[in-house]
Amino acid sequence: MAKHPPEDTPDRLTVSRRTFLKTVGVGAAATGLVGAVPGPAQAKILGPDAIPLALKLNGVTHTVIVEPRVTLLRALRNHLGLTGAKEVCERGACGGCTVLFDGEPICACLMLAADAVGHEITTVEGLGTPEKLSPVQAAFVECDAFQCGFCTPGFIVASTALLNKHPNPSLEEIKAGLSGNLCRCGTYSRIFEAVQKAAKQRG
Amino acid sequence: MAEQGDQTFRVKVGPAENPVTLEVHPAAGDLKPWDNDSRLRAVKGRHSRLEAPQKVTGRAKYTYDVQLPGMLWAKMVRAPIPAGKIVRIDTAKAERLKGVKAVWTTDAKLVRFAGQDIAAVAAVSQEIAEDAARLVDVQYEATPFITDLEEAMTPTAPLVYAEGQTPAPPNAPRKGNVAGPLPPAAVGGARGGTRGDIEKGFAEADAVHEATYRLRVHTHSVLETHGIVAYWEGDQLTVYTSTQGVFMVRAALAETFGLSRNKVRVISEHMGGGFGSKLYPSAVGSAFAIVACRLARQTGEPVKLMLDRFEEQLCTGNAPGALMTVRLGAKKDGTLTAIHYRAYTEGGIGQSARTGAPAGSMYAQCPNVKLEEYDVFTNAGPTCALRAPGHPQGAFGLECAMDELAYRLGMDPLEFRRKNDTHPFRKTYYDVGAKTIGWERRNRVHGETPGPKKRGIGMAHGNWYVLFREAVAAEVQVHRDGSVELFHGAQDLGTGIRTALAVIAAEELGLQPADISVHVGDTRFPPGGTSGGSTTTNSSGPAARLAAHEARMRIAGLAAPLLNAKPEALEFADGKIFVAANPERQISFREAAQKMPGEVIACLADRKRQFEAFRQDLAATQFAEVEVDVETGVIRVLKMVGVNNCGTPINLLTAENQMIGAQIQGASWALFEQRTLDRNVGTMVNPNLEAYKILGPADMFEAVPIFTEGANAGNNTSATGMSEPVFVPTLAAIANAVYNATGVRLRQLPMTPDRVLAALAEAKKGGKS
């Protein structure tokens, strides 16, 4: 459930939403602009106007021009047409926006797009296509591991990350590995089955 | 109910081990319903969803994913106070912000709950829209408010509605914030409400149990928030919206904007959960869809307005909290003599938050029943339907009380149910469920498990109704190349209606469900009903079967000369058409289709009238096993076994999924979920998904869904709804298991650790409860 962006990224820019909140407090966060926040001495100050960012997404670099305050999730969804990751709670509570950040699952709603520059971002779209499903995706289909499907992209990405780390997870490891994701239709047992099935498939 | 021109069929229906023969009279042109003797190939199978590859790869486009060229983003401003007068709304600053294109403000003069619509802005980006919303300056004159159910019932409580304005049925008495007793309900009440003489019933009883049960307001917390993307082309309005009823939205938008219905198109190809909250053109506590359409018309651009999680928790409805007093009487042998159910329900500013139907109808042979239902108004977001509205709450009170009375009588709770329950399906459920959960493993002496982690087993049952919509149609097209498409306007909430229709059509056409492309969720397709009340499969399915059957007859007509047989002598299976008496004589479906005179055979069929059914009510039973840590107060659900009959389960894979979902939602309500309002300022303390906790993967238990065999008739597929009845008994089953584990009765949900510890301490103080 490593869902929060790593804090120790070497070329991390001024703030993530999380450090921003830590720095200035919740009250100011409601109205503040990112550019005004005093950051660490070596930090670059960006914006407040839109700036070009080169994002490496699913193996291809795309340049997007967004305000520095735009989150990775919104950059993906609103500016790059990658709408697989969903904004459900907008505060890291549900995992609906999970993407891989250098292979680690993170909540894209908690990271600024600017902080993703120089890193490999993989979204659910990059894991497989309807014609060529990844083993995890195929297992979700076969086990009917969703109903409305809104949480599914997040679960697929989180499950993929889990299996990359634990190729043969126990049920308890699966529960722990997916505990940052929520499904309201109530399909968890099917999701666990799918992860076990995918683990076998990946061998 | 037979009418002129009706057909007559005798069908075998009811529990497979104890079936009955029923004479049914479908309308002319309808088909003999599938029954216990039908040999079906696709139906009752396990079929993965047609849209699954799109959903697992992030390609499925929900309303929330729709982006149109030139699209503006809208954001609403909501009242931050629970009650007051709106003195002034100043949008000047917001309008001056670069990128803002339009604003909307409410005509309302009063605020009745924190979260009410006040204003909206449309801007060129999501971020600018959010900035602009913050710049809208609203002045309020706060007035006294009330957020607490019990306090709202006191004579000195501030009034949510001024004297004479309290909403309630015309014949319901009103006093302060309380309306009721409400007149008998249309649903539930009509199936056995108040009857007999309870005083006589209690006088005849050897044992009487009375207790008060309480549960809190729950929110739907659908993952895709409510929202819409709207655009105008001249006087043609097109909207994408996350809804349970595209045709319902079309009718409402047409009426609001003075348009004829052919000028409005509503699309909901995929939607991210509804549970009853998306049964409105906008939402029960907001007019956001109308606002978005207005902003779109004003700007001439497409406008996207999605609520955020905060808004979703405040104004899109909720399941009412309830304060229920249940009094039951029974004879020594367990025969129920009286049920008295009184409930005060907490639906915020919304009305008719009824919970009495389970008490009124579940034990049909109890001769003396009295229901008293009252609405209590508070300054909070309005209630609306949530998965069997009022029934999980009412069943929690009733079924916990039944459990308590069983123990008072010294009876096994399951035997007590058997004694009083006449529902033919439930007899089976009790046997199957008890065997699967291991009912004999339950504690004979409550709390007898040694050590701090106490295990227990409980059960409860629930009810719902056979509800359906008749104004439904479907179209099946067979193309010359043998490919098949099915068009039907109803939306897929995640229940899998797209796939269910494919399964039904595949059954008729002898194809695989995956061979059929199904298009749903669009008012340009033949009409489908609003999805509420567990109605979609048994409303839409029969129309799909008729359309596919007509296509089958047309294809059979093409195949017959090739096979030198009469069309009625042909069978369809595995993509082949063959002579039933001589299966060697066969051609492929595709070969037959190639004989069509034109390019496509299009068959449009209306659903025919509902006819006689084995049962008009639905039953479900849930068994639960829990573990209670009496040192920490933490309850874990270990296992749930649900047993249900839904006539014909069209697709077992997806039906079981819904049962599991009901168990999870039930455990989530029982253990975690409660809307919390700050009684000092009247706002919601947990309008999110971390403090409004819903059950997550780490809390997961072993979920066992079981469907028993037995057709119901009523329509040509013999299917009934199922998503709601299976949810109804979950809360009481878990609470009864907690009692069996600990010997301490928790009469308040959710059973959070603090409540568990308090109840344990109370029991210790006063001796065993």
CB contact under 8 A, B57 and A182: no
Residue B367 within a domain: no
* B660 close to A (CB below 8 A): yes
* B58 close to A (CB below 8 A): yes
Residue B577 in this model has a pLDDT that exceeds 80 = yes
Model confidence pLDDT, tens digit, residues B49-67: 999 999 999 999 999 999 9
* A107 close to B (CB below 8 A): no
CB contact under 8 A, B58 and A83: yes
Instruction: Give yes or no for a contact between B454 and B741, defined as CB atoms under 8 angstroms apart.
Output: yes
A144: nearest CB among B308, B654, B702: B654
Q: Which domain holds residue B77?
A: 63-144+221-315
A181: nearest CB among B125, B273, B697: B697
Residue B617 within a domain: yes
* A157 close to B (CB below 8 A): no
Residue A21 in this model has a pLDDT that exceeds 60 = no
Question: E strand or H helix at A125, and its extent?
Answer: helix A124-127
Model confidence pLDDT, tens digit, residues B485-505: 999 999 999 999 999 999 999
CATH of the domain at B492: 3.30.365.10
Q: How confident is the model at residue A116 (pLDDT cuts 50, 70, 90)?
A: very high
Mean pLDDT over A162-180 rounds to: 97
Going across the sheet that includes B516-519, the strands are B516-519, B484-487, B473-479, B600-606
Q: If you measure CA to CA, which chain A residue comes closest to B495?
A: A147
Residue B56 within a domain: no
Residue B188 in this model has a pLDDT that exceeds 70 = no
Q: Do B249 and B133 reside in the same domain of the chain?
A: yes
Average pLDDT, chain B: 96
Q: How confident is the model at residue A3 (pLDDT cuts 50, 70, 90)?
A: low
pLDDT at B422: 84
* B761 close to A (CB below 8 A): no
Residue B538 within a domain: yes
- Number of domains within chain B: 3
Among residues B606, B622, B647, the one where a domain terminates is B606
Q: How confident is the model at residue A30 (pLDDT cuts 50, 70, 90)?
A: very low
Residues 244-303 of B with CB under 8 A from A: 270-273, 275
pLDDT at A33: 38
Residue B747 within a domain: yes
pLDDT at A17: 43
Q: Which residues of B touch A127 (CB under 8 A)?
A: 57
Model confidence pLDDT, tens digit, residues B316-344: 999 999 999 999 999 999 999 999 999 99
Residue B730 in this model has a pLDDT that exceeds 80 = yes
* B652 close to A (CB below 8 A): no
Model confidence pLDDT, tens digit, residues B751-767: 999 999 999 999 988 76
Residue B273 in this model has a pLDDT that exceeds 70 = yes
Q: Do B4 and B82 reside in the same domain of the chain?
A: no
Q: Do B670 and B765 reside in the same domain of the chain?
A: yes
% of chain B with per-residue pLDDT over 70: 98
Instruction: Give yes or no for a contact between B45 and B503, defined as CB atoms under 8 angstroms apart.
Output: yes
pLDDT at B690: 95
* B661 close to A (CB below 8 A): yes
Residue B489 within a domain: yes
Q: If you measure CA to CA, which chain A residue comes closest to B53?
A: A130
Q: Do B626 and B555 reside in the same domain of the chain?
A: no
How close B298 comes to chain A (CA, Å)? 23
CB contact under 8 A, B57 and A124: yes
Q: Do B482 and B554 reside in the same domain of the chain?
A: yes
Residue B94 in this model has a pLDDT that exceeds 60 = yes
The span from the CA of B178 to the CA of B323, in Å, is 13
What interface predicted TM-score (ipTM) does this complex get? 0.97
The span from the CA of B686 to the CA of B651, in Å, is 38
Q: Do B231 and B262 reside in the same domain of the chain?
A: yes
Among residues B543, B574, B606, the one where a domain terminates is B606
Instruction: Give yes or no for a contact between B643 and B423, defined as CB atoms under 8 angstroms apart.
Output: no
Q: Do B570 and B651 reside in the same domain of the chain?
A: no
Residue B154 within a domain: no
Residue B41 within a domain: no
% of chain A with per-residue pLDDT over 90: 75
Mean pLDDT over B281-287 rounds to: 98
Question: What are A17's strand-pairing partners?
Answer: none
Determine the residue among B56, B220, B671 to mutate to test chain A binding: the one whose Cβ has the most chain A Cβ atoms within 10 Å. B56
Residue B237 in this model has a pLDDT that exceeds 50 = yes
Q: Do B20 and B129 reside in the same domain of the chain?
A: no
Q: Which residues of A touch B696 (CB under 8 A)?
A: 179, 181-182, 188
pLDDT at B447: 82
Q: Which residues of A touch B60 (CB under 8 A)?
A: 149
Instruction: Give yes or no for a contact between A131 and A166, defined as CB atoms under 8 angstroms apart.
Output: no
pTM of the model: 0.94
Of A39-48, B506-515, B570-579, the one with minimum mean pLDDT is A39-48
Q: How confident is the model at residue B5 (pLDDT cuts 50, 70, 90)?
A: confident
Model confidence pLDDT, tens digit, residues B32-49: 999 999 999 999 999 999
- Candidates A111, A71, A99; CA nearest to A161 is A99
Q: Say how many Å lie between the first and final Cα of chain B, rounded.
A: 52
pLDDT at B446: 83
How close A10 comes to chain B (CA, Å)? 28
The span from the CA of A110 to the CA of B39, in Å, is 54
Instruction: Give yes or no for a contact between A44 and A13, defined as CB atoms under 8 angstroms apart.
Output: yes
What amino acid occupies position B535? T
* A146 close to B (CB below 8 A): yes
Structural domains of chain A, with CATH = 17-126 (3.10.20.30), 128-202 (1.10.150.120)
Q: Do B123 and B231 reside in the same domain of the chain?
A: yes
Q: Which residues of A touch B59 (CB under 8 A)?
A: 84, 125, 129-130
Q: Do B446 and B506 reside in the same domain of the chain?
A: no
CB contact under 8 A, A144 and B49: yes
Q: Which residues of B touch A159 (CB under 8 A)?
A: none
Q: Which residues of B touch A112 (CB under 8 A)?
A: none
* A18 close to B (CB below 8 A): no
pLDDT at B257: 98
Determine the residue among A124, A189, A191, A201 to mutate to test chain B binding: the one whose Cβ has the most chain B Cβ atoms within 10 Å. A189
Residue with tokens 């009903």: B529
Q: Which residues of B touch A186 (CB under 8 A)?
A: 660-665, 668, 695
pLDDT at A97: 98
Among residues B606, B641, B675, the one where a domain terminates is B606
Q: Do B616 and B755 reside in the same domain of the chain?
A: yes
Residue A135 in this model has a pLDDT that exceeds 60 = yes
pLDDT at B186: 66
* Cβ–Cβ pairs < 8 A, chains A and B: 180
Residue B178 in this model has a pLDDT that exceeds 90 = yes
Question: E strand or H helix at B23, and its extent?
Answer: strand B20-24
Residue B256 in this model has a pLDDT that exceeds 70 = yes
Residue A140 in this model has a pLDDT that exceeds 80 = yes
Q: Which residues of B are catalytic?
A: 724
Instruction: Give yes or no for a contact between B244 and B497, defined as CB atoms under 8 angstroms apart.
Output: no
How close B278 comes to chain A (CA, Å)? 14
Mean pLDDT over B642-646 rounds to: 97
CB contact under 8 A, A179 and B61: no
**Burial (0-12, 13-18, 19+ Cβ within 10 Å), A118:** middle
How close A168 comes to chain B (CA, Å)? 18
- Candidates B221, B475, B747; CA nearest to A88 is B221
Q: Which residues of B touch A98 (CB under 8 A)?
A: none
* B52 close to A (CB below 8 A): yes
Q: Do B545 and B525 reside in the same domain of the chain?
A: yes
pLDDT at A15: 42
Q: How confident is the model at residue B259 (pLDDT cuts 50, 70, 90)?
A: very high
Q: If you measure CA to CA, which chain B residue comes closest to A97?
A: B58
Q: Which residues of A touch B695 (CB under 8 A)?
A: 186, 188
pLDDT at A35: 39
* B636 close to A (CB below 8 A): no
**Buried/exposed code over B134-168 (b: 16+ C-beta within 10 A; e: otherwise):** bbbebebeebebbbbbeebbeeebbbbbeeeebbb
Residue A34 in this model has a pLDDT that exceeds 80 = no
**Buried/exposed code over B463-500 (b: 16+ C-beta within 10 A; e: otherwise):** bbbbbbbeebbbbbbbbeebbbbbbbbbbbbbbbbbbb
B223: nearest CB among A129, A151, A156: A151
Mean pLDDT over B283-301 rounds to: 98
* Cα dihedral B356→B357→B362→B368 (10° resolution): 60
Q: For residue B34, give Cα distances in angstroms to B22, B141, B680.
A: 12, 63, 59
CB contact under 8 A, B494 and A189: no
* A113 close to B (CB below 8 A): no
